Structure 1
């Protein structure tokens, strides 16, 4: 299988990968039922983050080209016979467009990725005017959507969500959206990295707190110090952050374990625990593993009231400054 990524291209890495896999499937080079390499294998082969691979696979799954079977792998679904032969007029248009792209220094792969990006977004709502939207950055897609919905509902402003991985890729299109934002918002656990990644931006970058943080710390502080504690999140990185927050708060346990659903040993960690902190997003996946005698604390991904009020006040101040200018 020949897959390449161009790190100098303006096309996001996940989209480059998605388009190449799409071509291999639609051209019949991957037959129906073919098992693709795992996201871990693809990430190692291409030297990219696994989240980049997962984003590409999600797009293919959304379009019905692959099926992601939990614990079994990724399999091709679409039959090449389903592809309609394009008309000669459309082929002429394609040839002309490829020639123009090459004259401008772009490869056919760059062009295909750009067309896909435009095609996937042309029906989406247009970006609000500069200064009339927020950008929220988070490492986890379900959590990101939860925070986005919280802010749009409570603060009444459009939120453009980005995964932390998308900032790391340095896509100029993403940087352009960020430049027009009224604020860039992230949780305190990511604030340092987001500021570092966006050091060339002039937009204000602020940190917010998850609502249950203080309640979580208060509850956990009452647990026995000799207890076996396991923190379970969708991704191990998120679990590590919660565990570190517990340590930073001065709450010490003899055995504090962190795991995500992406950890092959997570079932064992859960079974061995006496006390568990489990995110709402991960709970349904692990519910059947829990025992009646285990103490379980559900971690909700919502923003606290003080953070939402702070955002309202900052936006009001920005609005006043714009009117006064």
Structure 2
């Protein structure tokens, strides 16, 4: 067995064993369908407690790496796709950042090993505020995927009620987009909560499609309500799309059957939720709909991460 346990390491034994088995499964060291050594055999080989091995096997089964077959033992399953993709994605992001900062990969590896026994940083509780449920969930998901945070998601219209519920402010920070920063600041900063504004950017695919449109094309900028229309228009400003003629319109959520004014438009740019509504309302089939779901600026997310790290130093 290509397994090693360092009893002098600050990394707990069960974590050493679990991560090594996962690595061997994902790299083919333990073949799919193959049987793992018994708890007794593995514990004896590694000279560790049987209960430790049993705990690791239980954790691996819960995560979908192995399965227990009654009277036969523990068998290797096809590793979960999300586990492989997540690990590769994290490694790629870390190596890209190291390259951008001119840090040799070897130095990075040594630095990570030096911290291997440190307690994981606790997730910071933050408040995220947006004007639509769709943007609120999308941006909150992005933050939780990139930072160690637990996000409480509150719509802008619901924020005053949330703040008056019990007077508690359990958040390290309040976060929103630049479109709403002053509204959020006015409500949370009197309670001692700092507000951080992030930039919402247009995605590259939608910008490419807009760039490819012929010069002089009239494009409708359509929002799910007036505020979203204005936000989308601002995110497109300065994107080098001077060859297009933009007109603004929005879906009136109170007027169920009202089609926004798209007269003269050969294309529209809008969020996915708005695109679905336009199709339900029966816009012309030859109208090109470019779905634009904004993303949070990565530089702003990194800045937020640095601020949270300063506010919550790691446990020694």
User: Which of 158, 164, 178 lines up with 1:166 in the alignment?
Assistant: 158
CA 223–266 in structure 1, closer or farther in 2 if over 3 Å, else same: farther
Q: Distance in 1 between matches of 2:284 and 2:209?
A: 20
Displacement, 1:298?
A: 0.8
2:301 counterpart of 1:308: yes
Describe the superposition over 1:267-294 as per-residue Cα deviations: whole angstroms up to 9, x where unpaired.
2524652120120122222225344533
User: Which of 257, 260, 268 lines up with 2:248 in the alignment?
Assistant: 257
TM-score normalised to structure 2 length: 0.50
Match of residue 24 from structure 1: none
Displacement, 1:308?
A: 2.9
Instruction: Name the SS for the 1:176 alignment partner.
Output: coil
User: Which of 190, 214, 231 lines up with 2:221 in the alignment?
Assistant: 231
Displacement, 1:259?
A: 0.4
Query: Counterparts in 2 of 1:103-182, with a 5 A limit?
Result: 132-169=124-161, 171-173=163-165, 176-177=168-169, 180-182=170-172
User: Larger deviation: 282-291 or 154-163?
Assistant: 282-291
Q: Distance in 2 between matches of 1:251 and 1:192?
A: 28
Query: Counterparts in 2 of 1:204-243, with a 5 A limit?
Result: 204-212=194-202, 220=210, 223=213, 226-243=216-233
User: RMSD over aligned Cα, in angstroms?
Assistant: 3.4
CA 228–263 in structure 1, closer or farther in 2 if over 3 Å, else same: farther
CA contact (8 A) 1:275 1:296 kept: yes
CA contact (8 A) 1:139 1:165 kept: yes
CA contact (8 A) 1:152 1:159 kept: yes
CA contact (8 A) 1:233 1:281 kept: no
User: Which of 180, 202, 222 lines up with 2:192 in the alignment?
Assistant: 202
Displacement, 1:222?
A: 6.0
Match of residue 283 from structure 1: 275
Q: Distance in 2 between matches of 1:227 and 1:188?
A: 29
CA 198–292 in structure 1, closer or farther in 2 if over 3 Å, else same: same
- Structure 1 residue runs of 5 or longer lacking an equivalent are 1-129
2:179 counterpart of 1:189: yes
CA 266–136 in structure 1, closer or farther in 2 if over 3 Å, else same: same
Q: Distance in 2 between matches of 1:281 and 1:239?
A: 13
User: Larger deviation: 136-145 or 190-199?
Assistant: 190-199
2:309 counterpart of 1:319: no
- Structure 2 residue runs of 5 or longer lacking an equivalent are 1-121
Displacement, 1:305?
A: 2.9
Describe the superposition over 1:184-213 as per-residue Cα deviations: whole angstroms up to 9, x where unpaired.
110111112212233313222111123535
Instruction: Name the SS for the 2:247 alignment partner.
Output: strand
Q: Distance in 2 between matches of 1:219 and 1:201?
A: 44
Describe the superposition over 1:138-178 as per-residue Cα deviations: whole angstroms up to 9, x where unpaired.
0111221222222223213211111111234574227523x
Describe the superposition over 1:116-156 as per-residue Cα deviations: whole angstroms up to 9, x where unpaired.
xxxxxxxxxxxxxx993010010111221222222223213
TM-score normalised to structure 1 length: 0.49
Match of residue 286 from structure 2: 293
Q: Distance in 2 between matches of 1:256 and 1:263?
A: 22
CA 233–186 in structure 1, closer or farther in 2 if over 3 Å, else same: same
CA 323–248 in structure 1, closer or farther in 2 if over 3 Å, else same: same
